[in-house]
Amino acid sequence: MTRTLQTEHPPDICLMLRVHGEQRWLVSKVIPAVRQLEEQSAIEPDELAPALAYLEVLWLEAGLRAAETDAAAEKLRPPGGVPPTVLEEKAERYAAAVRRLRQAVDKRVRTLTAPAAETAGDASGA
């Protein structure tokens, strides 16, 4: 019988690990897929639907990672107004940077995955 080792990291380390994982997912998986779709000339028309479906799956996973990051950020600051440590401040800044990256990527993903009717309606001014 194999047992898994349960490790509880301090909140600052936990946040750093979650943020790093989310950032790597966005940079190594989601952004390359977004770029490829934005350069649609490189994609054959019959490959567009599967590429969009793949992006949606990547984005769902990114959402799960974001939720884990946000949950870890919530645990970072205990109530009581204790001043943050240097590592806590760095973890918060790293998390804020990744949240900005997440928001920028979200706009690009929404643009690419918007239904064609909405996109056509927006372009016609309706």
Tens digit of each residue's pLDDT (9 = 90 or more) over 93-114: 999 999 999 999 999 999 998 8
Secondary structure class of 77 (helix, strand, coil):
coil
Q: Spell out the residues 6+ positions from residue 58 whose beta carbon is closer than 8 angstroms to its own.
A: 29, 30, 33
Domain boundaries, the chain: 11-76+83-114
**How many Å apart are CA 95 and CA 103, to the nearest integer?**
12
Secondary structure class of 124 (helix, strand, coil):
helix
Instruction: Tell me if 34 sits within 8 A of 109, measured CB to CB.
Output: yes
| Least confidently predicted of 3-7, 12-16, 17-21, 26-30 | 3-7
pLDDT at residue 6 in the model: 63
Q: How many residues does the chain have?
A: 126
pTM of the predicted model over 0.85: no
